[in-house]
Structure 1
Amino acid sequence: MTAILLLTASMAKAHDLASPQAEAGQANLDEQDGFLILQTNLHPPYQELQNGILSGYSVSILNCVFDRLDIGYGLAIAPRQRNREMVRTGKADGFFLARISDAMDEYAVASNPLALEKWVWVSPAIKSDDPRVSRRPKPGDFSTVGAILGSNEAEWLLEQGYTDVMRVPSIASLVGQVAAGRVEYALVDKHSFEFARKELQLTADKFRMQFERYVPLVVYFSKRYVAKFPDRLEELNKVLEFCETRPMHLEPWEREAIEQVQLPIIRQFARSPELLVRIQSVLDKAESPSEEKKRLKDVVWAEMARKGKKSKTANKILENELSEYLRMFEATIGEQIAEAFIFDTHGQIIGMSRLTSDFDQSDEAQFQMIDSVNREKALITDIWYDASTRAFLSQITVPIIDPDSGQTLAALTVGLNVSAALRPES
């Protein structure tokens, strides 16, 4: 069983953990093979104290991961900057949650993401006809910009050239500063902002929000720990996909943006004569599969894909002209698309830009697009992390119709990389 040790001071001073405690604990626990100490900070609702116990979304994921791996680990709470320094100097084995950064990459190795933050600019509410309503702060424009001291957002602002940032100790105090009008713009995670706003009993109409970007958050493991246990990170990443269960719902404006910008491009591609010719060529050569044969292919495919390998069926499909054409389409669109694949009316993959996690799509939600009643529709899923592409995706599926017969030939699924596709500049 996974052993969990919470190294913390009293609840009132949990963010000021005395470093000798953590360092002494680390020295003793190093004797246990594989036991590791992870540093973190309080960041509701991802990491929060409840009755003196550290809990939250990221903690529950790590509990799941290390329980599956049967590895003991301890958690120590300290300010973020102190946490990073302990990882850098080898006094801790890892730190979470952190954005991927060049500075951390110098002395630590990132896991696959545990969460996806949605960063927003929060400012005091103004009237909808105010000319400032769509304005965003820019470096050097004399706006009062705020962020949490030592936070991912504060680091990013500095990298972007925001030199005069007001740094406050907590999300609650930052939200309070915005509500009081002392901070014009605060860059925060939307989920954390909503949590703090409700805790402060402030109504949403006191603020306005403007989306800035999506930011994946990871666990950073020290290079010292990775060198000592070279297979550990790979094992963790494999297990991680089974412990992430909460998708991020698309907001109405995000769904509308996808429908207006990306969906027309995908529909046009699905109707292109060049694509239809290649699909028909594959279908003409295909055999009508038995359910048992399809199941066996799917089992082998999925098992090998989890190991980063390709089955014979997968290799054959990746080498056909349809898959090559999908790769050309993906390259044309650029970083906004992480994958594209086509499955037939039996649910079998017949073309893909890259290896998918499984062969049979008949048990997936997108298979409903094969039904003729959905020929004018599109299925757009919520956001979730896809381990095979290492990106947060919203999958868009449209039917592929034979223009002559009106029959549904197959369906096209495109994995939209939301971090790239839904940036304001996109």
Structure 2
Amino acid sequence: MKQLTFWLAMTLATATAGAAQDLQPKMAQFVTEHVMDWATDPIIVDAIIAQNAITGRYDQAKIDELDALWMAQAGMPGVPLIDDVLQNPTSDFLRQRVAASAGTISEVFVMDARGLNVAAAEATSDYWQGDEAKFSETFPKGPNAMHFGEVELDGSSGEVQAQVSISIVDSTGAVVGAMTIGINLSTLI
């Protein structure tokens, strides 16, 4: 039985990796046609720039401290760090974009120049994304960077999803942050 489970897991992993490659053009097309027009909206760009002015002075110890605090307090009501990210006009704007996507966008969050959350439609598992490919493969790579995450099965919804991350630029074309969009892949097939 253990061998059967192992082989099923290996088959799923291989199929998932192939599916990710096959779906990248469709994910890129969706982001280009349905996300890029609002990804540089002033409500997003201005929020990133404002946070960059604060977090640009943070050292790694401060970032690690905030990330640990976020993870320890996730799911608790009335937590200032998490509330500051979730309860602001930019997060409201992101939630409106999720709702307008008719189920295609499952999540969306915005990061500053350090990879720290600025705004999110829903709480993320951690505050600092700077050590993850969603940030390291976008923000430092320039204005046209796009990163495709792994295809994953969401255990709670049963939906197959993948994240696409992009650089966010200001009106001069300078990269100021990044954004990650979770896409329900069944809507693209």
Whether TM-score is above 0.5 comes out as: yes
Which residue of structure 1 lines up, in the alignment, with residue 45 of structure 2?
A: 276
CA-to-partner distance for each residue in 1:21-69, whole Å, 9 max, x for gaps? xxxxxxxxxxxxxxxxxxxxxxxxxxxx5xxx66314987xxxxxxxxx
CA-to-partner distance for each residue in 1:154-194, whole Å, 9 max, x for gaps? xxxxxxxxxxxxxxxxxxxxxxxxxxxxxxxxxxxxx69xx
Distance 1:247 1:401, change over 3 A: farther
1:410 to 172, 177, 181: 177
| Higher mean displacement: 330-339 or 377-386 | 377-386
Which structure has the larger Rg over C-alpha atoms? Answer: 1
Query: Any gaps of 5 or more consecutive residues in structure 1?
Result: 1-48, 61-190, 193-244
Residue type matched to 1:412 in 2? M
State how 1:26-425 maps to structure 2 within 5 Å: 49=1, 55-57=4-6, 248-249=16-17, 250-284=19-53, 288-305=57-74, 308-309=75-76, 311-368=79-136, 369-371=138-140, 373-385=141-153, 391-404=159-172, 406-419=173-186, 421-423=187-189
**More relative contact order, 1 or 2 (CA 8 Å, 6+ apart):** 2
Distance 1:364 1:266, change over 3 A: same
Please identify which structure carries the higher helix content: 2
What is the Cα deviation at residue 285 of structure 1?
5.5
The TM-score with structure 2 as length reference comes to 0.81
Equivalent pair of 1:340/1:353 in contact (CA under 8 Å): yes
Runs of 4+ more than 6 Å apart: 387-390
| Number of aligned residue pairs | 185
Distance 1:392 1:317, change over 3 A: same
Equivalent pair of 2:56/2:114 in contact (CA under 8 Å): no
Equivalent pair of 1:348/1:360 in contact (CA under 8 Å): yes
The TM-score with structure 1 as length reference comes to 0.39
Task: Please give the alpha-carbon distance, in whole angstroms, between the structure 2 residues aligned to 1:359 and 1:316.
Answer: 11
SS at match of 1:397: strand
Distance 1:297 1:388, change over 3 A: farther
SS at match of 1:403: coil
What is the Cα deviation at residue 261 of structure 1?
2.8
Task: Please give the alpha-carbon distance, in whole angstroms, between the structure 1 residues aligned to 2:31 and 2:105.
Answer: 10
What is the Cα deviation at residue 282 of structure 1?
4.0
Residue type matched to 2:180 in 1? T
Equivalent pair of 1:338/1:417 in contact (CA under 8 Å): yes
Please identify which structure carries the higher strand content: 1
Equivalent pair of 2:56/2:113 in contact (CA under 8 Å): no
Query: Any gaps of 5 or more consecutive residues in structure 2?
Result: none
Distance 1:299 1:274, change over 3 A: closer
Distance 1:384 1:252, change over 3 A: closer
| Percentage of identical aligned residues | 22
CA-to-partner distance for each residue in 1:126-160, whole Å, 9 max, x for gaps? xxxxxxxxxxxxxxxxxxxxxxxxxxxxxxxxxxx
SS at match of 2:69: helix
Task: Please give the alpha-carbon distance, in whole angstroms, between the structure 1 residues aligned to 2:131 and 2:169.
Answer: 21
